[in-house]
Chains A and B, each alone.
Chain A
């Protein structure tokens, strides 16, 4: 057994199996076609699963894959066959929740692509070269947001959806208080 737990890849695919963002940490998939073949298998074999409430799990090509879906986004985390399944699920949940926080609850493909920088930065904060760096969604989102959201940016430069999201957040906050 790998004595240090490790993540082999993190995939974020859309509802057709195309990449939104992916990150590979192991050389089990040496080239683009091997990666795409793996993504295709994983996507098609999990497509019908209901992984919206709970993290689901499956084994593909001697790898453990945990996955969770929301709207038209499919989140996957892959580890070695003998990896602790719960550890992988924790990584997935951390990524999933961090993206949720960063996209302020509007988690879908459009929003994800518009904020791709945030997604890529959270991937960078979760795993470093296969080693788990952080799994707490609040910490991950905090690290990404603190240096990405430019508070001084004029409203006109924000995209409409961002503006809407900001407005919605303000509204919720005022309602809650």
Chain B
């Protein structure tokens, strides 16, 4: 079944393009592989065939299971040849084929023979191949040889064993951990790379033992490391130790800093750079500590090697974000890099300069950037745009030239991401710098005159609708907006109609003119555009009379949708047309968080028993469906909130149980997700006995046992409580898992008939105030805060006592309240002394709550907090304060 060689004609076009693999074809090569079976092996020929096979694999060709097995068996025959070169290719081939467990057995003995051979090359390679393809059982047989190999006097053999150890540690940690003594000996090796591999392995073996790592680092930093690679490793481990010890020793000199600084004088650039970078990344690094690192990086900036310049400028760029002053010394070197051949280096240099520059250098820099923008890729342009945005926020006085720059590049060619970055920047500048508003809006108007991206056009139109009417002369924007109605696609036209309506609603003087324009839109050929025009004409009273726009109309036009769109989408999909119209209030308001990754039961086999595990559902609407399908809970009304699962057992116990708290208006349901991790047991009639004596306001009303809980397939049992309606009752519950346990024969999977009743103590569970709070974000906190008004505002101050840092205090309060942090304010910059955090949420009874937290460090460690709450209900504002006061 020899197949003809298929050649493409164009391959032959160029004589110079000749390749020994021209027209190579898998079927033919597999045929050729039969020479492996010849009684008289021709090593040269066999090597060539293996090279061809490897070439095919390298080109992305795949072998079928049968083909791979055939090749593998043929290749194993080649162990008979004593040709060194061929053996070498055989090793590579076996690794590429990655044989299955039953195939591995065929080569094991050959490889084990090589592993004990006198030839170093055989030993080293056989170890690498064996460790790559072996499984745990075989490993115990060869462990002895591996331990010897680690301390072998030939560095190639030792390295092979150590590197294999690093790989094996992932799969068979308990075996590799037994080699510590040999590995420790290898760390002292005189061969550079052996030391590197040994250090890497030793650290991985000990990485969970902080004390051991500490000892390792302190002994090695005294200087016995020869290889630059090993020295780099040591620097990484050292900074890890520094990071972990930083919490304990706040005062005095940083341990090991001297070692890092010493490495800055190492002869290998690799080590110098690693040390410099490690210093810049130290937590709360002082400028005194930074100086020597910055000095060596500055030297690298003028190196002839692009890699060195890149590494240095990239690190300095990061430093500039936190310590701009420390980097200013490098400004002259940085400026010469703006014209660097390597555009990555040039971009990093320019953005660093933008961060470190002072107000007077802005104009000069902008001139240089303008020349440079045209010949860099879009992704770099985005970096530059972002740097300019932050620069503008830093020096608001310079907004004119920066805004001009942005509008210029907005006019030039560019992809969507790039244009979006520019538009976003302009929008932010308009929001934050009032003086920039007029010019910024006009730039945006000009941009949509000639914008190919529908998304950007509609975004800008929306933004114009909000900001435009508040300017001194709103009428000048109308022309730009109405032009869109003529010239654009339906999506943009619809957006333009909405924007026109907003102008009409906000600016009474413009109303008659807007009505004329909207009426023209009634003849648009798109439904949506016509519908919108009709709707707005009616809501705004388009019968010609100039009337004040009503509050509810304004709310309708400008009010934010306080429901996550995903939830709305789901609810609409589930809605079936009926007598009852769709009620927007029935849409859950909870912001969906990523479902918590299910904890894998320890010792769980990949071949799950009884099909795929049916994990408990974790998102809001699946919970809702699940609960409403249980008759006992059907009359509890609408589900207000479901908490994230709370573990009630330690990891790696016999039974893994976590609980989800479902809050209803007058009820609370606990959903216990149970997993049985013992293969020899079947649990039946599983219930949780809840003792609510520490939760006075709760009374148990129903419980739903789980009929059977086989090994490794999670199931749920429920307990429901009644509580006073609408009251955020809190309390503690102790839990006891009760069940009938039956022995299971693991080989047949059958359970015995008789069972024994048993109990298992679970941890306590608490219902806290945060359970009555939905995480609901608002898109623009300031607007929401102002429109909420100060009627029910409650402000008070609290002392939070000593805390390690502000971030910890902020997190504690966020968790206590269970609210959604807005605008990224949950992130506290390193070592800041004060912080403002904005939170929003919906309290039980559907009351919107906004919270503004101001934190400050008072005295050495004491954190003080000012809490301002606004909500739609006085009682709720007070309740929030109570939560904090009692928390």
Residue positions of A touching B, CB distance < 8 A:
1, 3-5, 19, 21-22, 32, 35-36, 45, 49-50, 54-59, 66, 84-87, 89-90, 109-110, 113-114, 116-117, 120-121, 124, 128-129, 131-135, 143, 146-150, 153, 157
Whether A110 contacts B167 in the complex (CB less than 8 A), given A117-B89, A131-B197, comes out as: no
Residue of B nearest to A157 (CB): B44
Interface centre among A117, A121, A143, A148 (most CB of B within 10 A): A117
Whether A59 contacts B159 in the complex (CB less than 8 A), given A110-B19, A120-B92, A147-B85, comes out as: no
Q: Is the interface of A mostly helix, strand, loop or mixed?
A: mixed
Interface centre among B20, B128, B167, B310 (most CB of A within 10 A): B310
Evaluate contact between B163 and A85: CB separation under 8 angstroms.
Answer: no
Q: Is the interface of B mostly helix, strand, loop or mixed?
A: helix
Residue of A nearest to B62 (CB): A32
Residue of B nearest to A2 (CB): B236
Evaluate contact between B344 and A84: CB separation under 8 angstroms.
Answer: no
8 Å CB interface, B123-141 against A: 128, 132
Chain A residues within 8 Å of B59, by CB: 19
Evaluate contact between B44 and A153: CB separation under 8 angstroms.
Answer: yes
> B58 at interface (Cβ–Cβ under 8 A)?
yes
Residue of A nearest to B201 (CB): A4
Evaluate contact between A5 and B229: CB separation under 8 angstroms.
Answer: yes
**Shortest Cβ distance from A143 into chain B, in angstroms?**
7
B132: contacting residue among A45, A86, A129, CB under 8 A: A129
Given A36-B60, A120-B51, A153-B44, 12 new contacts (CB under 8 A): A3-B207, A3-B233, A4-B203, A55-B305, A55-B306, A57-B307, A59-B344, A86-B308, A116-B20, A131-B166, A149-B85, A150-B43
Evaluate contact between A150 and B44: CB separation under 8 angstroms.
Answer: yes
Whether A132 contacts B229 in the complex (CB less than 8 A), given A3-B203, A84-B274, A86-B273, comes out as: yes
Evaluate contact between B342 and A147: CB separation under 8 angstroms.
Answer: no
Chain A residues within 8 Å of B84, by CB: 146-147
B305: contacting residue among A54, A134, A143, A150, CB under 8 A: A54
> Interface readout for B1-45 with A: 1 if CB under 8 Å, 0 if not?
000000000000000101111000000000000000000000110
Residue of B nearest to A134 (CB): B193
In the bound complex, CA of A22 to CA of B61 (Å):
13
In the bound complex, CA of A135 to CA of B270 (Å):
13
> B826 at interface (Cβ–Cβ under 8 A)?
no
**Shortest Cβ distance from A112 into chain B, in angstroms?**
10
Chain B residues within 8 Å of A129, by CB: 132, 163, 167
**Shortest Cβ distance from B135 into chain A, in angstroms?**
16
8 Å CB interface, B97-143 against A: 121, 128, 132
Chain B: how many interface residues by the 8 Å CB criterion? 65
**Shortest Cβ distance from A82 into chain B, in angstroms?**
9
Chain A residues within 8 Å of B277, by CB: 84
Evaluate contact between B269 and A86: CB separation under 8 angstroms.
Answer: yes
> B240 at interface (Cβ–Cβ under 8 A)?
yes
Whether A54 contacts B306 in the complex (CB less than 8 A), given A3-B236, A84-B232, comes out as: yes
Chain B residues within 8 Å of A66, by CB: 307
> B591 at interface (Cβ–Cβ under 8 A)?
no
Evaluate contact between A84 and B193: CB separation under 8 angstroms.
Answer: no
Evaluate contact between B232 and A50: CB separation under 8 angstroms.
Answer: no
In the bound complex, CA of A129 to CA of B95 (Å):
11
Evaluate contact between A114 and B232: CB separation under 8 angstroms.
Answer: no
**Shortest Cβ distance from A159 into chain B, in angstroms?**
8
Whether A4 contacts B204 in the complex (CB less than 8 A), given A55-B306, A59-B344, A147-B84, comes out as: yes
Residue of B nearest to A125 (CB): B156
Evaluate contact between B92 and A121: CB separation under 8 angstroms.
Answer: yes
Evaluate contact between A5 and B232: CB separation under 8 angstroms.
Answer: yes
> B451 at interface (Cβ–Cβ under 8 A)?
no
> B304 at interface (Cβ–Cβ under 8 A)?
yes
Evaluate contact between B270 and A55: CB separation under 8 angstroms.
Answer: no
> B296 at interface (Cβ–Cβ under 8 A)?
no
8 Å CB interface, B626-654 against A: none
Chain B residues within 8 Å of A87, by CB: 229, 232, 270
Chain A residues within 8 Å of B203, by CB: 3-4
In the bound complex, CA of A57 to CA of B341 (Å):
11
Evaluate contact between B60 and A57: CB separation under 8 angstroms.
Answer: no
Residue of A nearest to B379 (CB): A59
Which 7 A-B residue pairs are closest in the complex by CB-CB distance?
Answer: A147-B84, A85-B311, A86-B270, A148-B85, A89-B307, A117-B51, A32-B60
Whether A116 contacts B197 in the complex (CB less than 8 A), given A84-B270, A84-B273, A129-B167, comes out as: no
> B556 at interface (Cβ–Cβ under 8 A)?
no
Q: List 17 A-B contacts (CB under 8 A).
A: A4-B200, A49-B341, A56-B307, A56-B342, A84-B277, A85-B307, A86-B274, A86-B308, A89-B307, A109-B19, A110-B16, A110-B18, A117-B54, A124-B95, A128-B160, A134-B159, A148-B88
Whether A49 contacts B58 in the complex (CB less than 8 A), given A1-B236, A54-B306, comes out as: no
> Interface readout for B161-182 with A: 1 if CB under 8 Å, 0 if not?
0011011000000000000000
> B760 at interface (Cβ–Cβ under 8 A)?
no
**Shortest Cβ distance from A19 into chain B, in angstroms?**
6
In the bound complex, CA of A44 to CA of B273 (Å):
30
Interface centre among B62, B88, B274 (most CB of A within 10 A): B88
Chain A residues within 8 Å of B416, by CB: none
In the bound complex, CA of A57 to CA of B277 (Å):
18
> B820 at interface (Cβ–Cβ under 8 A)?
no
In the bound complex, CA of A59 to CA of B311 (Å):
11
Evaluate contact between B44 and A22: CB separation under 8 angstroms.
Answer: no
Whether A113 contacts B344 in the complex (CB less than 8 A), given A56-B306, A120-B51, comes out as: no
